[in-house]
Amino acid sequence: MAEDVTKLLLDWSNGEKSAVDRLLPIVYNELRRVAANLIRNERDDHTLQPTALVHEAYLKLIGQEDVKWDSRVQFFAFSARVMRNILVDHARTRLREKRGGNLQKISLDELVSASGEKSKELVALDDALTELAKFDERKSRIIELRYFGGLSLEEIEKVLKISAATIRRDMRFAEAWLYKQMAA
């Protein structure tokens, strides 16, 4: 199956448009699993469902014309980044609306119960990852692949072409750095 995905990705990169149509049924369940994992970490009343997240991400993915797909792992890593961006955009929109972008009267009880802490956490994590990427892109990418993409250490090795020991070391550093940034 991994060979089928890789072959379809290569065909797609070489301009074969029908490869995209054959790809979705093969990768759909895996994309949905990644989306479900991402949404599981969101607030309880999140309006975006895994299926909708996959569909929105897939539309963005098929719109990519300048990406040269070379492997299944690269595709899923890129998919995870696209899904992360969709969720962060969704969270930023929700926070903007809470600050008055979509004014409506609500009671104080409703305001307290709709605090949006998960949205704030996701935006804060995205901001911290962006800051980390400014001085160490690889460490930021490792966190993104592992926690947003759900990739294993072996899959991250293939994407980034570095050893598992380096990945573990970078993850420890990045996790500590992110914790410190978000605590501040």
Helices (H), 71-163: 72-96, 108-113, 117-135, 137-143, 153-160
pLDDT score for 138: 92
CA-based end-to-end distance of the chain: 45
- Determine the Cα–Cα distance for residues 163 and 167; give it in Å rounded to an integer: 6
pLDDT score for 42: 67
Domain boundaries in the chain? 2-183
Contact 103, 135 (CB under 8 A): no
pLDDT score for 150: 79
Give whole-number Cα distances, 77 to 18, 74, 182, in Å: 22, 5, 24
In whole angstroms, how large is the CA radius of gyration of the chain? 18
pLDDT score for 67: 76
Q: Which two tokens stand for residue 87?
A: 């969720």
Torsion sign (Cα): 91, 92, 93, 96: positive
pLDDT score for 53: 87
Contact 145, 159 (CB under 8 A): yes
- Determine the Cα–Cα distance for residues 65 and 160; give it in Å rounded to an integer: 22
User: pLDDT tens across 153-167, in order?
Assistant: 988 898 888 999 999
Low-confidence ranges of the chain (pLDDT < 70): 1-3, 41-47, 97-119
